[in-house]
Amino acid sequence: MTEGFSRSQPWMVVADRVMANTYKRQPVVFTKGQGCTLWDADGKSYLDFLAGIAVCNLGHAHPGIAAAVSRQAETLIHVSNLYYTTPQTELAAWLVDHSFADRVFFCNSGAEANEAAIKLARKYFKDRGEPDRYRIISMLQSFHGRTFGTLSATGQDKIKEGFSPILEGFDFAPFNDIDAVRNLISAKTCAILMEPVQGEGGIRAADPDYLRQVRELCDETGTLLIFDEVQTGIGRTGKLFAHEHFGVTPDIMTLAKALANGFPIGAMLSKESVAAAFVPGSHATTFGGTPIVTAAALCTLKTIESDNLLGHCREMGEYFKSKLTDLQSRHSVIKDVRGIGLLLGMELDTDGAPLVQACLEQGFVINCVQGNILRFVPPLIIQKPEIDALIACLDQMLKQVIF
């Protein structure tokens, strides 16, 4: 690399001119990845503790995924959902075998999976002759997506700003407050929609008692329980699905992010009794569950199983969390360390953006949610030396006066 010359700069200048201005991007152009390492256009390497926002659980450039996708690309990429295809069928069967669910609807994103769940919940009660039972209770600080339906379901005002009128029929309860849910639930409530661990909202896990009580309340009233496991699913917390930690089973579950290790996919899973509300014509998508993406997802799930990544995730998660807790004991700016498995958060009593920026300069990709909560969601294949390197960097940065 020539001193002072950056291969990244021209790309950033053009992107800032021609791309919709929807992101405040970090000043880096990534061009390559391998395992937990990323490289930018100038050849500088970074350790990745974000994994494309909890997506690349097997790491970057995984040879199994590359092979599965190339094989499928040479065979059949897309034919639409008007026909049967084999990778899609195999993937749905795998998910049904490994979950509470009987049926799977495939789409292309987390928001779409939640859209499907909202539509299914409403139609379920319409079909039962309860047309007024359409309201959904979701949680404050939740995140369910950016489409009109899912932003309406999201318990954060900043997501909705500028888009009124939003979809009608959502009520919001503070997270972990069962009395608030009891007060909101009515004869018009069709479903309760929630994340077992709030991700974008600040890495906040449901209290196990609370989650059990939500399930009981749903059972007493015949209300459907929908778990949004878009961020928490596919091994992120050390179980295939986060709700397994709590022993509480939903009626509907949504998946996306890590399901195909970086290929765009969403899935909405449900029990037969609920799934029956969707019949031909009820809901559809052109791309959902296309062969190439479902081949990637199948390979992702089988690799998680064959490489014992759930056990590895639990082990690395505990190690990582203990190291963060250790940091907390030495730096008073750290208010809290929390999370399950490799979905970890570190709350600061100051703005987190300068620390994210400083870590990036030092070659570490981390992220901040809600302004002051650092989020660590590395690939599940992360190893102790990589965690140690980040901890040493954070320690150094936190010693500097600015923090």
Ligand X SMILES: *Cc1c(COP(=O)(O)O)cnc(C)c1O
Site residues (CB under 6 A) for ligand X? 109-111, 114, 143-145, 195, 199-200, 228, 230-231, 256-257
One-letter amino acid for residue 43 of the chain: G
Q: How many helices (H) and strands (E) does the chain have?
A: 15, 17
| Closest CB 330 distance from ligand X, rounded Å | 31
In this structure, the chain runs to a length of 403
Q: Among all chains, which residue has been given the structure tokens 């199948």? A: 298
Residue 6 or 147 with smaller CB distance to ligand X: 147
Q: Which residue, chain included where needed, has tokens 């958060």?
A: 345
> Looking at beta carbons only, is 37 or 106 nearer to ligand X?
106
| Min separation Cβ 108 and ligand X, Å | 8
| Alpha helices, DSSP H, located in 83-109 | 86-97
Shortest distance (Å) from residue 313 CB to ligand X: 17
Considering beta carbons, is residue 287 or 319 the nearer one to ligand X?
287
CB closer to ligand X, 366 vs 398: 366
Q: How far is the CB of 229 from ligand X (least distance, A)?
A: 8
**Shortest reach from residue 322's CB to ligand X, in Å:** 25
Among residues 107 and 394, whose Cβ is nearest to ligand X?
Answer: 107
275 vs 268: CA distance, rounded Å:
10
**Cβ-based nearer residue to ligand X, 268 or 348:** 268
Which DSSP category does 261 fall into?
B
H or E element in which residue 104 lies:
strand 103-107
CB environment 43-72: b (16+ within 10 A), e (fewer): eeebbbbbbbebbbbbbbebebbeebbeeb
Query: Is the alpha carbon torsion for 52, 58, 62, 67 positive or negative?
Result: negative
Taking the complex as a whole, how short is the minimal distance between the CB of residue 118 and ligand X, in angstroms? Answer: 12
For residues 363 and 46, is the Cβ–Cβ distance under 8 A? yes
**Integer CA distances (angstroms), 283 to 166, 168, 312, in order:** 21, 20, 38
Task: Determine contact, residues 190/136, Cβ cutoff 8 Å.
Answer: yes
* Nearest distance from C-beta of residue 5 to ligand X, angstroms: 36
Nearer to ligand X, 268 or 393 (CB): 268
DSSP structural state of residue 128: T
Cβ-proximal residue to ligand X, closest one: 110
